[in-house]
Amino acid sequence: MSKDLRNPLARARGLGSAKDGVHHWMLQRVTAIALVFLTVWFLVMVLGLLHADYATARATVAKPWNAVLLIAFVVTAFRHAVLGLQVVIEDYVHTRWLEVGSLIVIKFIAVLAALMGVLAVLRIALGS
């Protein structure tokens, strides 16, 4: 016999888990693991360019694999940041309008910044 711990009103309305927590948790872990490998690659690339001139750095970023990995790094980093900030806001901001507004602003800024990063890499990679 399973005991339902919700109050009677919640049972009547069908309220309960949003059933989205596992997806959010898993996505945060997957982006974290991806960022470990992408950050190692990024640091190796940057350290390899430490004393290089501008033309060499630009040519390195313009290589197809480097451009793809750099775009993946930018997108994954901003996605991971949004997931983490969302948890912090949901846990510590208790005024509903401020919570929703903060989530919207953070997502807007992250999407804008990620698009700017991707555009910068594409401009370098495509030579414009």
Element (H, E) at 31: helix 21-48
Q: Is the pLDDT of residue 10 over 80?
A: no
How is residue 52 annotated by DSSP? -
- Per domain, the residue ranges of the chain are 22-125
- Report the chain's C-alpha Rg in angstroms: 21
The overall average pLDDT reported for the chain is 91
**pLDDT score, position 1:** 55
**pLDDT score, position 127:** 87
**pLDDT score, position 39:** 98
**pLDDT score, position 33:** 98
pLDDT tens per residue, range 32-84: 999 999 999 999 999 999 999 999 999 999 999 999 999 999 999 999 999 99
Q: Which residue has the higher pLDDT, 3 or 84?
A: 84
Q: Any long-range contacts for 27-30 (C-beta under 8 Å, 24+ apart)?
A: 27/79, 27/83, 28/80, 28/83, 28/84, 28/87
The CATH number of 22-125 is which of 1.20.1300.10, 3.40.47.10, 3.20.20.70, 3.40.50.2300? 1.20.1300.10
Distance CA 98, CA 46 (A): 39
What's the pLDDT band for 5 if we cut at 50, 70, 90?
A: confident
For 110-120, b where at least 16 C-beta lie within 10 A, e where not — what string?
beeebeebbee
Q: Is the pLDDT of residue 16 over 70?
A: no
pLDDT tens per residue, range 25-36: 999 999 999 999
Average pLDDT over residues 99-127: 97
Tokens of 32: 């974290």
